[in-house]
Amino acid sequence: MGLIYEKIVRPALFKMEPEQAHDRGRTALMAMGALPLLCNFVRRYNLVKEDKPVKLFGLEFANRVGLAAGMDKDGEFPKAIEALGFGHAEVGTVTPEGQPGNPRPRLFRYPEQHALVNRMGFNNKGAKSMLNVLSKHYPKGKRGMPVGVNIGKAKTTPLDRAVDDYLACFRKLADQADYFTINISSPNTQGLRDLQTETYLRDLLSTLRNENQAYAKKLGHPPHPLLLKIAPDLSFKEIDQIVEVLLDLQYDGIIASNTTIARPTGFPDKETGGLSGGSFLRKRSTDVINYIYKATEGKLPIIGVGGIDSVESAGEKIDAGASMVQIYTGWVYRGPFFARELAQALKSKGENWI
């Protein structure tokens, strides 16, 4: 199946403008998710379960491979993602109200590097729309895998009011999220990465933690797992400061990492935005994962993201200290059944993985 994708399907998609191809894929996945018999058939072929469920921050995952945020911005096709062998999906990034994102073109391919550059700008339909879609088509309590909700700040919201946007998304989507990821690391919303600094970070994360605890107490169930997604462009000193806050506030995990604004030597740097995929980000994100793992002595669960386009590159993330991985660009280049390949390989290593 992978060969068919690489020889026939991918060349056809790559003749299209990148965002048009993404939209075609989105339509196909939504259509697949609307056909229960097809989903069940595909799932029987693709589902890879670890011998024991992967237990992380109070949730259970069938395997260690998830879909990174950005692919399913509005929570429209997690049922198809489950059928294709993923152990979890992260939807979003979502903002309180819908917004168009940055002007097109804003997504660019670099096939020789197996990389993408995007400056999408959190284009999405808003938290209410995501709530409606998830509750109707893939409701909590009736789903076969955890769904994380990645939340962000609207383009027009000033940094000193950013916490209001994160709170609004949390309140709207708490009933449908299995976990939340706070995205303060996209390079495509002006000023967003400033939220990673001491000036804003502790207040933002403590406010969200308090809201989460109050919500859980009101309903009489455990708080939602809260994760933070960071940039790969941080210094080790900056990472130390972030990790200190996360441990102090008892956050459940960290996702390393988002796209990078840096470029490798010789990269055909024609477009601004975040670079995803490729060997350059692969190494940077793995280095960040390993640093966090050693600095925390493995006490802070890590989901590894960045440059995963092979079994080897996924294994590097696990060896570096990640408990699970997420893919995006590698899925674009390797095809719909790539998650199954990775999940099977990680399972086969068993206890040899961290």
For 26-66, how does the pLDDT look when each residue is reduced to its tens digit (9 = 90+)? 999 999 999 999 999 999 999 999 988 999 999 999 999 99
Active-site residue identified among 185, 186, 257, 285:
186
* pLDDT of 348 above 80: no
Structure tokens at 4: 């068919």
List, as own/partner pairs, every contact residues 96-104 make where C-beta atoms lie below 8 angstroms and the sequence separation is at least 24, other chains included: 96/126, 96/127, 96/154, 96/165, 96/168, 96/169, 96/172, 97/126, 97/127, 97/154, 98/124, 98/125, 98/126, 98/129, 99/123, 99/124, 99/126, 99/154, 99/155, 102/188, 104/19
Q: Does residue 310 carry a catalytic annotation?
A: no
CA atoms within 13 A on the CB side of 21: 18
Residue type, 88: H
Query: Does residue 120 sit in helix, strand or coil?
Result: coil
Q: Does domain 2-349 have CATH number 3.20.20.70?
A: yes
Kindly list the domain boundaries of the chain, sorted by start residue.
2-349
Whole-structure pTM value: 0.96
pLDDT category at 350 given cuts 50, 70, 90 is low
Residue 354 in this model has a pLDDT that exceeds 70: no
Of the candidates 337, 242, 265, 345, the one whose C-alpha atom is nearest the C-alpha of residue 45 is 337
3-state SS track over 24-79: HHHHHHHHHHCCHHHHHHHHHHHCCCCCCCEEECCEEECCCEEECCCCCCCCCCHH
Average predicted confidence (pLDDT) for the chain: 96
- Compute the average pLDDT of residues 258-283: 95
Look at residue 347 and tell me whether its pLDDT is greater than 60: yes
